[in-house]
Structure 1
Amino acid sequence: MNYDQLNLDNQLCHRLYMASNGLIRAYRPLLEALNLTYPQYVVMMALWEQDGITIQQLLEKTVIDGGAMSLILKKMKEKNLLSITQSEEDKRKKLLYLLPRGKALREKAAQVPTQIRCAFPNIAPDEVQALNTLLDKVCADLNAQE
């Protein structure tokens, strides 16, 4: 019997795993300068897009696990980046607001996407767009299976 289907070189999942790990390593020094982990950076980007969202909206936007999100938000609150308050309309909902320190961090973070893009000198801009499209399809297919 032939077992080529088990070779690592034939695995899409392993390529995605290697790319994900490599990308997180590339982000690390840039985010250390901001005193953020990658998940915290994702949360900050979501809040820079829309401040005052609920935790549920943040979970949907970032697709970060709820348990992990609780720990992330706790650390970010300790860093004085955001506040967590109860909604006036629905006490069960908690709203997230950027504090001045979190708002100011946006200016420092503005160059991170450009710096990360420089880590891919062999990928043309149109290939980046094609890769984004393919990854969106991968995510959609995997989410449809849940």
Structure 2
Amino acid sequence: MTPTILVIDDEQDNRDLVTWNLGRAGYRVRQAGSGRAALREVTAHPIDAVLLDIRLPDMDGLDLCRQLRANPETRDLPIMIVSAYADCDSLAAGYEAGADDYLTKPYLRGELLPRVLRLLRTAPVLAPVGAVSAAVRAVNRLP
């Protein structure tokens, strides 16, 4: 079955470029220009991976990442942040929010597709690890 990738970016041109590249590689692609639209997409359509910008018009992409991780229906979705924020604090914040990968814009032309393929290949392996990590965090919050 062909994987479906959800591309979430506030810039239509960025979404279209990524969609074109992923489509040429054989992926199905859905787009969202805001956090709310992204949440509608993941509940209405089967999504295999998410490419997420940090800057969105209605919510922070990191908050959206946290929401996806907190929801039992979407917590195992592979998430790659694709952002122009290239500083160490932004990268750390992305991983702390639950991203599986972080790609900085502008990226090399040949960089996106191999990273998406790796994201999809490692997702089934990482899902149980994520569940264990969530359980450990929950236990650590107990009084």
TM-score where L is the length of structure 2: 0.24
Which of the two has higher C-alpha Rg?
A: 1
In proportion to residue count, which structure has more helix? 1
Q: TM-score, normalised by structure 1?
A: 0.24
